[in-house]
Amino acid sequence: MRLGMILAAGQSLRFGADDKLVAPWQGRPLITWAAEALMQSGCDRLGAVISSPAVGAVLPDDFVLHTLPSGLPMSASFGLALRQARVAGADGLLICLGDMPNVSAALLRRLLTSGESCACVQGDRRMPPAHIAAGDFGKALGRFEGDQGAREFLATLPRDRLIPIDTRTAHDIDRPGDLSGPA
Express each pLDDT in 97-116 by its tens digit: 999 999 999 999 999 999 89
Superfamily of 2-174 according to CATH? Spore Coat Polysaccharide Biosynthesis Protein SpsA; Chain A (3.90.550.10)
The residue-averaged pLDDT of 17-38 equals: 86
pLDDT over threshold 80, residue 118 = yes
| Greater pLDDT, 5 or 171 | 5
Contact 148, 76 (CB under 8 A): no
The verdict on pTM exceeding 0.85 is yes
Phi/psi of residue 136, nearest 5 degrees: -105, 0
Phi/psi of residue 95, nearest 5 degrees: -110, 145
All structural domains of the chain with their residue ranges: 2-174
Q: What is the model's pLDDT at position 22?
A: 83
Q: What is the model's pLDDT at position 67?
A: 95
**DSSP assignment of 120-159:** EEETTEEEEEEEEEGGGHHHHHTS--GGGTTHHHHTTS-G
Contact 15, 55 (CB under 8 A): no
